[in-house]
Structure 1
Amino acid sequence: MYQKAFIYILLLISLSACTPKNKHYVIGVSQCSEDIWRDKLNDELSISSFSNENVDIRFASADDNDQRQIEQINHFIDEGVDLLIASPNQMHTISSAIDRAYAKGIPVILFDRKTDSRNYTAFIGADNYVIGKVMGEYVGVSLKGKGNVLEITGLESSSPAVERHRGFCDALNSFPSIKLIGSLHGDWTKESGSYLMDSLLKKRKDIDCVFGQNDRMAMGARMAARKLGFDKNIIYIGVDGLPTSDGGLHNVASHELSASYIYPTRGDLVMQLAMNILKKKPFKKDNYLKSTIVTPENAHAMLMQVDEINHQRARLIELHGKVDQYFAQYNHQQIYLFLSVVIIILIISFFVYIYRTIVMKRRLADETAKAKLQFFTNVSHEFRTPLTLIADPVERLIDDKEISASQRSLLLVARKNVNVMLRLVGEILDFRKVQNGKMDVDLSIFDLAENMRQWIMGFLPSANTKRITISTEIPESLVVCADLNKMECICYNLLSNALKYTHDSGHICVSVKENNGMFTFIVSDDGIGIPKDKVLHVFDRFYQARNSNIGGTGIGLALVKAFVELLGGVVSVKSIEGQGSVFTVTLQIGNINSNEYLRQASVNNDETFVVAQETMNKNEENVELRQMTSIVTDDDKPTILVVDDNDDIRTYVTSLLEAEYDVKLASDGKAGLEKALRYVPDLIICDVMMPIMDGLEMCDCVKRETVTSHIPVILLTARTQEDQRTEGYNYGADAYITKPFSGKVLLARIKNLLNNRLLLRDIFSSNELMNDKPKDADTLFINEFRKHVQAQMSDAELNVETLSADMGLSRVQLYRKVKALTGSSPVELIRITRLKQAERLLKSKGKTIAEISYEVGFSSPSYFSKCYKEYFGILPGEVK
């Protein structure tokens, strides 16, 4: 029986060995040349093959040699590749080779460039006509509609050069006063741009702008002009926007180029198109990649995104290498087991193999999911620091009465777009909270109709720009019990979606209806509509159902659905392609009590007033508060320690504070704690996310140290979730301000905390033991100090050095701690304590003035009488 079972197992193993595996594909990639752009594409194609283990990619580069590219393509054909990806050098040079591959039944994907042959399977690349047109419009705006423009094109007969030139000229036709003085043909290299610019400058000097059809030729033109001393007043723009060290993104960020246009590689989409063709899946013949223009305003943000993407890509390559290594090791182990063990061990090995595979897949899936969530969260947090450095300076410039109207208009545009970025960052963080099940519902009673009218008013400027009318059918008042912030987000995303997909001169209708304890919120438009097969997917995350040229994060409607369901409601959509869409949200009105609503409205108004009072620059300060503030500034400026690992944040906060405060700086929590102990500042401003020691740990250490426990700490951070704010307060923070922040709010919060410390001085300056006060760290410290003074009062040699040694502090630390808590120096407190004890002894009438003066530690009765007169206004002998 065992022999038969063994034979059956061997038969099964043999049959499984004969089972055909997944088909193996060979893809040939023919590049017309070698440069950093094509290296990036090849790299992306290689990484994209990780998810298609049955694909072998073979690369060839012709180095701009047409005949060599024909030979390489013919070699791929003779080898019998399954698919050919080709980027022609010029439109007509390799058409015969493309025709031969097509005739052999080999699918052909043209990438980046086209040929004059129609025998290709699909094309994928950027729309070069659109690129040329966008850059032409940018030139028109930059030159304010007037000037002379030089265009340096690529190879004369290459399709990108032809199409970009056509789009560029069409755009310039809208600017009659802009003259295209020449379209010189280069060969896509920096040297050709330099040579052509040098030749032209020897003939004429009236060039206002140079448009290089790629960044290298534009930089070459700038180098030539710089050598001749003519580049200072010339605008240079290019195309490609590569993120390499000498690429367009860095050139724009360093203002070498005024603008560039990201010419996407998207090797992942090329590989996806290739696999769809090979696996007989649906695909489009012409596929145009989306992209955008790069200016100095967004170049740094894009570089940050590229750095994070490169980091994640390196991590992906590392994980792929480890998986390959694990599978290789496991295959060797499987072979040894197959050759050396009996049937029962083979069966056990089979189950072990299944178990390990499942565990590995789950682990990889968990790591991938965590990496995705962490990536979005990190990017969102990182955005808040540069947005801080943009938003608040813009606000301060807007308040400057000396700027011109046109400058103010540009600043208002900048502020609007910063707010848009903040909203997008907030949506990403909210979406993550929804996915993690940590999104709370904050119910309140409010007038939905009144708030709805306010929200709609915010969209009127954008609607007017597109000549879109927004009509409303909203009752005069509709009081509901819901989450106000989430209702605002729902309204914002639905209206934003309607504006985005409604044609110019179109119409949008917003209506709110009440029926049987429910209310319905409807947004309808007469825009482009949604195809029938895509309506069901509009609420999916990262899904964009309509025109692919229209941007967006793809999570707006998904967030709407999540919020509506969180509030116990339903959202639906009806749409007809070409006629428009109707989005309907249905929610419960909730149990409304009119008295409770009026009371809550009153509380909300009071809270709003308090917040406004904190953030306003008060014109009339309270006289008593000014007097207390003067106590802080009588001797020196208050000292503030700023701890942040971002150089720009430290510099910016210093510029806000240096006029009124003595500012100390540290770049991490450990260095910040050392400076806090050294200088004992009056207040600390600290970032949360820092290397070596983070802000929470530093705050905890500051509050635990005796010498620094009294110092107010403001946590300045990009972390916005409520549980994170709670964590900050649990570590002892006195205030929590999120990035991007207002400079006015920060200054007001600092003054508020310092003034609160002044109010505490009244409590600690009484020179009496505070046994009836709460035993916090500051009270215990002052009580201990006064006990040491009273215990050694009769010692005429008692000084600050003795007391600091007794209390385990340095002389400077003791001085600053006592001064901050009481407003008096340790020497003054010692003298005051002695004089008040002397006053009590004088009233007892049991001892002479001389005896009392020595008992309380004065070196002579005459000096005692002088001090007593100065403090109490009378001589000791006059005490009754």
Structure 2
Amino acid sequence: MKIRFSILLLFIGAIFGLMACEKEQKQYVIGVSQCSEDIWRDKLNDELIMGTYQHDNVKLRFASANDDDRLQARQIRRFLREGIDLLIVSPNQLHTISSAIDEAYDRGIPVILFDRKTDSRKYTAFIGADNFEAGWEMGNFIVNKLKGRGNIVEISGLEGSSPAIERHRGFMKAISRHPEIKLIARRHAGWLKQKGETEMDNILDSVTEKIDFVFAQNDRMGLGARQASLKHGFKETKFVGIDALPTPGGGLENVRDGRLAASYIYPTRGDLVMQLAMNILENRPFKRDNYLKGALVTRENADVLLMQGEEMAKQRARLSSLHSKVDSYLAQYNHQKMYLLLFSIIILLLIGIIVYTYRTALAKRRLEREAVNAKLQFFTNISHELRTPLTLIAEPVKHIMTDPNLTRKQQNMLQIVNRNVAILIRLVNEILDFRKIQNGKMELTLTSFNLGEHMHRWLELFAASAEKKHIKLQLYVHDQLPMLADLHKVEQISYNLLSNAIKHTPRGGEITLSATQQDQNVRITVADNGPGIPYDEQPHIFKRFYQTRTSNKGGTGIGLAIVKSFAEIQGGSVTLESTPGKGAAFTATLPLTVQDIKAKTSSTEHTMAQPYEMPANVITGKITNTANNEKPHLLVVDDNADICAYIAEILDPNYNITLAADGREALNKALRDVPDIILCDVMMPVMDGMEFCRRIKQDIITSHIPVVLLTARSLDEQRTEGYNCGADAYITKPFTAELLKSRLQSLIDNRRLMKIAFSADSPMPSIPKSAETIFVDKFRQIIQTKLSDPELNVDRISNEMALSKAQLYRKIKALTGTSPADILREARLKRAERYLQTTDKNIAEIAYEVGFSSPSYFTKCYREYFGHTPNKRQSI
């Protein structure tokens, strides 16, 4: 025993040492070399700093060259002398600092070029916006505004810098396709507002032609050029720039206020730059060339983008504030962590002592006590020893949780500790309560309550489990059956008996819970039609830890012992009546008014936490019934069973719902069933929501189906990705049931409007080109061009559409609510009606011309559709 105890102490000491010595992370130093200082680069630096919040092992060093090439080269070499692990550099010009960057690269230091490039290929990765695309977009904007004719001036950035070169190339490519648009002047202003004003002054002094547009390669130069134009009295000239910063006085405000006609969002995305740097440093996969997405900003969308920018700025400020608080509370957190560590060691020591004490006592007494008493003593000893340290843990945790300076993350962690301590205390109390029963020390807490009302609730707890096994539950009790008893113990009696019945009753069986008053007693009976209990085992059924020979359901064997004890302590009894093969009936007889001089009296009813929730598969069984074909068919795709169950619960009254756990399963179901609408999660195994949406929209069979993405990914670029995949709507979690219902109904209503597009004898509405509208065009063209052919039918149309007849039917039916055959017949009749009104042809000629095989059949169909014969129509 001494050896075992020594080993235990050594084991505890080893754990303490391992927990105290945390593994140190490798520290990284990243040098950031900026070519200049301005608002745009300040924003980038702030984002880089925020990017380090997720990486405590990263230190940033910044340097700005103020557009001085030599100074930037010296700053880079100073970084190399001081020692850095990675270099992030934005070169001032294409050629000037290549040697310094090459020197860093040759030393084995990874180099990330940001925003600008050099003429050397010695770099690890590039990240930045596509300057060529920015110039191209602004060129196309000006061309559209000028309608292909006008005079333009370009104010370029720093001569020799890669952004200035690439933006000019993209701009020239866009306007070169329009010979009547002339670039009458171009000046370099070095990205500065004052220089932009000076260069524009020079241009206005030397140019006599009217200037329609000025393209400035950034917003600052554009505003400087505008000041020069106003000073010269030119108020009609329009100005565009690039950057569209959401800061006060930035590009977004100037576009909104009309000082700039447009701008182009030139993103900073310091968070992505930092992530790329960490991928390189930690040897994770990365791309060598990474282009950030930009967007055109006009007066129409400037307000929205500005609000989004302001909100993001607030969130950044809040995040920075929270990070500062985290740093200030780090010492306090370390103390708390040490306390928790000490608590854990104390508990481990106590458990070791208890185990040692138990094994010593067990060795001395051996057969002195029965096995059942040994089990109870063991658990009871542990429970008693755990109560004190658990209390010492629970109370400090509760005290710490009241500290207003804790971060949200710390509060969440402490709440987890608090909840799990409460669970342990409850389990300990249950074991001690059982021991109290054995020692005759259990007390009662008497409560006045209506037994009938509570029995309804207790039976509802087992509804889901019973439904899963197709077991019928029945309740027989008077609505008003007042009792004065220990509600918790009466509840435990009913719960244990019902749980046993559910466990042993076969599928399709029946369970009855009843309560009847008999003089001053109440008889609570749980009866089932299961296999029953053998006669020879019935006398032992209420013994502790006893399990029948035929039972294969598991369990501890103390449930019925607790039932018997709780009934007897209240002056009642419990009996069993069972015939093997015909079921069993357990009856607890309790006084309506329990008498106990030691009992506590409570005026508040005790309510036990509900132990059951309806399983997802039970809900699924309810909602997958598609008998009501009038409801829209909704396909719900989510790998979280709880989300599927919740959505099904709120939408079941209005939709026929099919569930799928991943994109691949959902794609098969969509191709097979062609639902009316799809609600899909984004993050899923096998095939994610983005890929699933892309495939749905690319397939001619399913391209018409509206797809709503439901996800917690709420950033703008993530929304953009969703819409680029073809999503019709994007709803972020958490969401309200009303929002979800409204959005789904709106999409279904809009989809029904597509029926107008299939009216083969009316002009085609103007709808943006997509896989769906291409399908509509092709369908209309086949009907329009071959309407007079009597052999034209659904089979021929489906062959020409390269679809099966069933697929064509489902597709057309989903879009219009009408079959292809009905649409074809309607088109023929409407064209016949027009011929009757506008030509002198007789009925037979018109019937053959619109594809009917005989005039009599034409007359019959015409009368059924219009309500009168074609003769009557022609006479009109």
Give the TM-score normalised by the residue count of structure 2.
0.44
TM-score by length of 1: 0.44
